[in-house]
Amino acid sequence: MHRNRVAQIVVMLSLAFAVPVGGAAAQGLSAASDVGLSARFAGSRIYFDADPTYFNITVSVSGPDGYHGQVFSERRAPSFRLADFGEVADGVYRFEVTAATQAFARQAVREPSGYNGRDSTAQRPREGVSFSGNFRVENGQVLVFDNADQET
């Protein structure tokens, strides 16, 4: 349990990559990043894909009127259904996907004072990746966000 929490913290601290996406109805459209994470939009659901070696994948979505939802999966990228987390108002929403990789994070500190000489790789945090983007909801349907459509 502790190892999962450490991995989640490392993932949350990793840099986010903004993803520009075009502006048409989102049916069948997708957005991808150069870190092995991508999103596909269909109806009122967002499907995420991740490199198969990634684990502890968290998807967070926020939107108008205090909307916030989060899903987690230990082994594969989850999908996100907007209606599962409350009323879905029209407007601009933001998603962020974070995941832990197989690579160990570099430690900038010495071993703890209680270090007993054993291999501590099982407790070392992993490097994280993240991917974020925006989309618009109109009449309960996801549309890909277009920067020209920003609300004032």
Q: What is the mean predicted confidence (pLDDT) over 5-27?
A: 36
Half-sphere exposure of 27 (CA within 13 A, CB side): 5
pLDDT at 20: 32
Express each pLDDT in 33-75 by its tens digit: 678 899 999 888 999 999 999 999 999 999 999 999 999 999 9
Strands 29-32 and 141-144: unpaired
Express each pLDDT in 90-143 by its tens digit: 999 999 999 999 988 776 666 666 666 665 555 678 889 999 999 999 998 898
Tell me 147's DSSP state. Answer: G
What is the second-level CATH architecture of the domain 2-107+126-147? Sandwich (2.60)
